[in-house]
Amino acid sequence: MDITILKKPLYLTILLSLSFLFTNACHAVDKEALLQFKQNIISDPSKLLQSWSSSTDCCHSWQGVVCDTTSGRVTNLTRPGLFIGNDEFFVDTSMAGTLSPYLGNLSFLKVLDLSNLKYLKGPIPLALGNLFQLSYLFLDTNQLNGTLPFTFRNLISLKKLHLSDNSLSGVISSSVFESMSSLFELGLAGNQFSGSIPTSIQNLSSLTKLDFHGNHFSGSIPYGIGKLKSLKYIDLSENSISGMIPESIGGLSELVLLYLNQNRITGMIPYSISGLISLYYCRLSENKLKGNLPDSIGKLPNIQRLILENNRLSGKLPSSIGKLTTLTDIFFSNNHFTGQIPSSFENLVHLQTLDLSRNKLSGKIPPQLSKLQNLQSLDLSFNPLGLVYIPKFISKMKLFRLKLAKTGIEGHLPKWLASTSISILDFSNNGLNGKLPNWIGNMTNLSFLNLSKLQNPLGQFNSIDLSNNMFSGPIDKNIGERPSMASIKSLVLSNNPLSGGIPESIGQLSELEILKLMGNGLSGKIPMKLGNAEKLSTIILSRNKLRGTIPKQVINLINLKEFNVSGNLLSGMIPSHNTTFSASSFLDNHGLCGPPLPPCNHS
C-alpha cells in the first residue's frame, strides 16, 4: 500500500515559510547536486523545476527544496507528480529522465519524494545509499529498473520506503534490511523482484505496513515475520510464494489486513489464526490450502471480509464462524467443503455476501438464514444440496443476487419470486420445467436471468441456448477446447451484448450442428477454422460487425443448409458454393458482391 502525504499540517507550513527568512545560503555541494539532477530531466511539462536556476539560491527560491536554517544544507526535496495545488485541486503531472548519482551528495537530506512522476527511468543510483539521514524515500510510480541497491543497508534512519509500481527486479540482498529498525512502511509492490523474501525483514521491529504484492517472490513466508508485533498491514499477494502459512503469524495481534492470495501456499490454515484479534480483512484465496478450517477461526472479533475461495479446503464448515458477528462478506467458493451449512450463520447479522458455491455441501439450507436482513448476495450454486424446491423463506430476505445453479431444484418456478426485488437470478443446471411464467415480467428489478439447463446426465453440454439475455464481454477464446463442450450440438448466443470476435476454437467442436450468433455486436473476421466443424448445418451470424471476406471453407461445409451473414461489414466476392442460399442471407454488407448478389465491378 503506497502512502502519499497530500497536505502538510498548518503549523508545519508556517514554519517552512518562516524558515525562508532565516535560512543561510544554499550549500554549494547541494546546489550542484540539484542542478545535476535537473540536467538529467529531459521533459518537465508542468515546469516543476522551472524555478531551479544557477543564478538564484536553492534554499530561498527553488520550489520543492527546503534547507536547514543554520547550515543551509538541503533537507527536503519534494517534486512528486501527484499533489494538491494552491486551488486545493489535485495536480497530476510527470517528468521524464533519470536519477542523477549526484543526489547522493545531499548528505543532510531527510525527505526525498519523486513519486508519481511516471517517466523516471534507469537504475536507482548506488550513491543514494550515502544519505544516512534520510527518513522518507518515495520513488514509487515511475519506470525505474535494475536491482534494489545493496547500499540501502546504510539508510539506517529510514522510516518510510516506497518503491512500488516500477520495473525493479532481481533478488533482494538480505543485508539491506538488517539495520532498518526505524522503518515502519515498506512498499515494493508492482515490480519484478524475485527470489525469497529476505529473512532479515524480522529485524524491522517498527514495521507497520509491508506491501510486496505483484512481484515474482518465491520460497516460503519467513517464520520471523511473527516478530513484527507492530504490523497492521501485510500484502504478499500475486507472487509465487509456496510453503505453509507460519504458525508465528498468530502473534500479530495488531494486524488489520492480511492478503496472501494468488500464490502457491500449501498446508492448513494455522490454528494460531485466532491470535489476529485486530484483523478486518483476510484474503487467502487462489492458493493450494487444504484440510479443515480450524475452529479457532471463530475467534476473530473484528473480521469483516473472509475470502478463502479457490483452494482445496475440506471438511465441515465450523459452527464457530457464527460467532464472527462483524462479518460482511464470506467467499468460500470452489473448495471441497462438505456437510450442511451451519445454522449458527443466523448470527451473522451484518453479512452482505455469502458465497459457498462449487463445494460439496449437502442437506437443507437452514431457514435461520432468513434472519440475515442485510444479505444482498447468496450463491450456493453447484453443491449437491438436493433442494427439489426453492425454499420459501428466501422470500423474506432482501436479496439483490440469488444463485442456486445445479442444486437439485425441480418443477416450476414459485410465484412468490414475483414479489421480490432480486436483480440477478441464476437457477441454471436444474430440473425446472414448464414455460417461462408471465409474472416474470413483473420482476421490474430483474437484469440477469439464467434458467438454462446446460448439462445432460453425463455431465457434458449438449445444447446451449443463452439467447435474448444481457450477457456481455467476449466469448471464451478456448470454448472449443473445454472438455465439457466436446458433445455439444447446438450453440445459440444470439441477441446478447457480446464483444470481441468469433473464437477460432469453435471449429474444434466436432459434434456442433447449429451455431447462432445473431445480433451480438461481434467484430473481426469469420474464422477460416470454423470450416473444421464438419457437422455444421446452420450458421447464423447476421447483425454483427464482422469484416473481411467469407471463407470458402465455411460456406462450402458439406452439411450446411442454412447460412446467414446479413447486416455486417463483409466485403469481397462471395465464394462459389454448392448449396443455394437466398440473396437475403448476404444483404446489408456493402462490400459483398457475386451470386446471389449482383456481380462484382472489375472496372
pLDDT at 486: 77
Kindly state the average pLDDT of the residues 170-185: 96
> Using one digit for the tens of pLDDT, what is the confidence trace for 336-354?
999 999 999 999 999 999 9
> Using one digit for the tens of pLDDT, what is the confidence trace for 371-408?
999 999 999 999 999 999 999 999 999 999 999 999 99
Inter-CA distances, 440 with 65, 268, 450, Å:
67, 45, 12
Q: Is the pLDDT of residue 275 over 70?
A: yes
pLDDT at 16: 42
Contact 113, 78 (CB under 8 A): yes
Kindly state the average pLDDT of the residues 514-537: 94
Instruction: Map out the domains of the chain with their CATH numbers.
Output: 24-137 (3.80.10.10), 146-294+307-312 (3.80.10.10), 314-435 (3.80.10.10), 462-602 (3.80.10.10)
Residue 26 pLDDT level (bands cut at 50, 70, 90): very high
3-state helix, strand, coil in the chain (%, to 5): 20, 25, 55
**b/e map of 220-257 (b: 16 or more CB within 10 Å)?**
ebbeebbbbeebbbbbbbbbebbbebbebbbbbebbbb
Residue 561 pLDDT level (bands cut at 50, 70, 90): very high
- Please tell me the total number of residues recorded for the chain in this structure: 603
Q: Is the pLDDT of residue 458 over 60?
A: no
The candidate with the shortest Cα–Cα distance to 592, out of 556, 557, 567, is 567
Could you tell me the three cell numbers for 587?
A: 444483404
Three-class secondary structure assignment of 190-240: CCEEEEECCHHHHHCCCCCEEECCCCEEECCCCHHHHHCCCCCEEECCCCC
- The two beta strands, 65-67 and 74-78, are antiparallel
pLDDT at 602: 62
Rounded CA gap, 384 and 359, in Å? 8
Contact 397, 369 (CB under 8 A): yes
pLDDT at 423: 87
265/6: higher pLDDT: 265
- What DSSP element (H or E) covers 32? helix 28-39
Residue 80 DSSP SS3:
coil
pLDDT at 295: 97
Contact 531, 507 (CB under 8 A): yes
pLDDT at 17: 44
pLDDT at 453: 60
The candidate with the shortest Cα–Cα distance to 438, out of 421, 420, 413, is 413
3/273: higher pLDDT: 273
Strand ranges, E, within 340-430: 353-355, 360-361, 377-379, 401-403, 410-411, 424-426
Residue 466 pLDDT level (bands cut at 50, 70, 90): low
Maximum pairwise Cα distance, the chain: 94
pLDDT at 11: 36
Residue 484 pLDDT level (bands cut at 50, 70, 90): low
Torsion of CA 238, 239, 245, 246, to 10 degrees: -130
Could you tell me the three cell numbers for 279?
A: 484483523
pLDDT at 64: 96
Q: Is the pLDDT of residue 247 over 90?
A: yes
42/443: higher pLDDT: 42
pLDDT at 89: 82
13/365: higher pLDDT: 365
Taking all residues of the chain, what is their mean pLDDT, rounded to a whole number?
90
Q: Is the pLDDT of residue 369 over 50?
A: yes
The candidate with the shortest Cα–Cα distance to 405, out of 454, 462, 466, is 454
pLDDT at 21: 47
Peptide bond into 596 cis (omega under 30): yes
pLDDT at 483: 65
Instruction: Give the torsion sign (CA, 499, 503, 509, 512).
Output: positive
**b/e map of 344-376 (b: 16 or more CB within 10 Å)?**
bbbbbeebbbbbbbbbebeeebbebbbbbeebb
Burial of 4: CB neighbours in 10 Å, binned 0-12, 13-18, 19+? middle
Residue 21 DSSP SS3:
helix
Torsion of CA 267, 381, 327, 251, to 10 degrees: 0
List all residues 6 or more positions away from 126 whose beta carbon is below 8 Å from its beta carbon. 101, 104, 149, 150, 151
Of 3-17, 19-33, 315-329, the one with minimum mean pLDDT is 3-17
Q: Is the pLDDT of residue 435 over 70?
A: no
Kindly state the average pLDDT of the residues 158-185: 97
Residue 325 pLDDT level (bands cut at 50, 70, 90): very high
496/552: higher pLDDT: 552
